[in-house]
Structure formats: structure tokens, C-alpha cells
Amino acid sequence: MASRDASPSLVNLPDGSSFKIGIVVSQWNADITDALLKGAQDTLLQSGVLADNIEVLYVPGSFELPWGARQIMKPGKRDAVICLGCIIQGETRHDEYIASAVASGIMQLGLMSGVPVIFGVLTTNTEEQAKDRAGGKHGNKGAEAAAAALQMAYVRTGDSTTKKRIGY
Ligand code: DLZ
């Protein structure tokens, strides 16, 4: 089983003062996603991202997150986009279809656009498990998503590999 140490570090994050970050938030299970949003915003602000450079867009449910991410990233306007949602297992397999579609949509959008799109979607069996990951005993996955966004924005905009000489 993975330990908490497996999560990305929330310290020594890149300076975010030049970054523009979009956050798309699903309103399904809103008490959880609000907590994820707070964790993400706090991490971005603590890393120097200007409040004016954080745009938040709400969508009805997690299924709509990829569409929202595409909408908010507008060419050249975002260094990274964070998708926050909470999918809790129900009586049917609905949750599996939503989670699978969202993960696939977010990955495709990131690859096709070149803008990092971060998967900050909880997929839990119970509401308690979700609370544990939204500021509870397992930390705040919104904060971790923000950390991933900062790291990816840094890699993208300060990509040291592009400065390396290629060839002889
Ligand atoms: C319909 C639905 C269900 C059953 N469960 C969740 C959930 O646990 N988490 C979530 O974010 N959204 C859920 N939704 C809503 C879908 O994501 C979507 O908004 C609707 O199917 C409309 O496309």
C-alpha cells in the first residue's frame, strides 16, 4: 500500500509569480470539491501565484471537467489547468464510466494542447474516504494537484531540455 510519502512534495515548489493557472471545479459533492479548491488555491498563492492569475471555472459534474479545462485554457492564456472533482462509488457502475471518461479526456486534452492538465479528481468508495483526502487524515489532494500544476508549468515554460544543444 502506498504511504503518504509517495505524494509529491508540497515544499520547494517552483516560484509561481509568473504563472497563469486555471482551475476547473466540479460541483457534484460540492463540500468535498470546495475543500479541494481551497487546498489548491492556498498552495498556488503560497508559491507566489498572483490571485488575479488564478481563474476558477465551475462545471456541473466531473464528466464536464475536460470540457471546462478546454474552455479555460484558451490558447496561450494558461500555463497549467487543474481539474478538481469527487466521484464516489454508488449502487451502479456509473462512477466507473465517469472516472474513466474524465481521466481519458484530461490526458488527451493535455497531450493535444501542450498545456499540462492536472487530474485532481478523487475516486473513492465512500464519502468518508473523500473527506480524508480533502483536508483530512490523508492530506488535501487539491493542494497536491496544485503542486503538480506548478511543477508542470515550470517544466513547460522553463524547459531546460530546449536549451540543450542537439547534435554535435
Ligand atoms: C451523475 C453523476 C453521478 C451519479 N455521480 C457523480 C459523482 O460521484 N461525482 C461527480 O463529479 N459527478 C457525478 N455525476 C454527474 C456527472 O459527472 C455529470 O455531471 C452528469 O452525468 C451530466 O453529464
Q: Is residue 83 in contact with ligand 1, taking CB distance under 6 Å?
A: no
Q: Is residue 87 in contact with ligand 1, taking CB distance under 6 Å?
A: yes
Kindly list the domain boundaries of the chain, sorted by start residue.
18-157
Are 82 and 40 contacting, i.e. CB atoms less than 8 angstroms apart?
yes
Q: Which residue has its alpha carbon closest to ligand 1 atom 21?
A: 63
CA distance 35 to 23: 13
Greatest distance between any 2 Cα atoms in the chain:
61
Atom of ligand 1 nearest to the CA of 98: 17
User: What top-level class would CATH report for the domain 18-157?
Assistant: alpha beta
Which residues lie across from 29 on neighbouring strands? none
Are 121 and 65 contacting, i.e. CB atoms less than 8 angstroms apart?
yes
pTM: 0.91
Q: Which three cell numbers stand for residue 110?
A: 493535455
Q: Is residue 127 in contact with ligand 1, taking CB distance under 6 Å?
A: no
Q: Which of the listed residues 25, 27, 28 should we mutate to test ligand 1's pocket, taking the one with most ligand atoms within 8 A of CB?
A: 28
| Tens place of pLDDT per residue across the chain (168 aa) | 445 556 667 888 999 999 999 999 999 999 999 999 999 999 999 999 999 999 999 999 999 999 999 999 987 789 999 999 999 999 999 999 999 999 999 999 999 999 999 999 999 999 999 999 999 999 999 999 999 999 999 999 875 444 444 455
